Amino acid sequence: MTSKFRRYEILLPLRFNDGMEVPDEYIGETLLELRTRFSAASTETQVIKGQWEHAGSVYSDELIRAFVDVPDDADARVFFQQFKETLKMRFKQIDIWLVSYAIDIV
């Protein structure tokens, strides 16, 4: 029997694009929203470092990964599409990397 679940992963910035540190409360608020909506949320504390270009500028990121496993349905997809926009405003980002993929919970 296979399960129809999807994992959503979000790379949350530890610094704003201007280099200032993101307050810990922003991460906490994000995880609380996910846990409240889906009854669980997880993070990895390892810092992910990346670089990317936008409009001729190079940005350096320090990020952590938050993830949640949810039923693979349209309601969850709509939630995460809207949540991404909320996160872009909260973290003052040009974009937030949010991916999803099908998983099989054994």
Please report the pLDDT score of residue 105 as a whole number: 84
Please report the pLDDT score of residue 57 as a whole number: 86
Please report the pLDDT score of residue 87 as a whole number: 98
Q: What DSSP line would sit under 27-73, residue for residue?
A: HHHHHHHHHHHHS--EEEEEEEEEEEEETTEEEEEEEEEEEEEEE-S
Domain count, the chain: 1
pLDDT in tens, 7-61: 999 999 999 988 899 999 999 999 999 999 999 999 998 999 999 898 998 888 9
Domain residue limits at 47: 5-103
Q: pTM here?
A: 0.90
State the CATH number of the domain containing residue 16. 3.30.70.120
Report the b/e string of 28-63 with b at 16+ CB within 10 A: eebbebbeeeeeebeeeeeeeeeeeeeeeeeeebeb
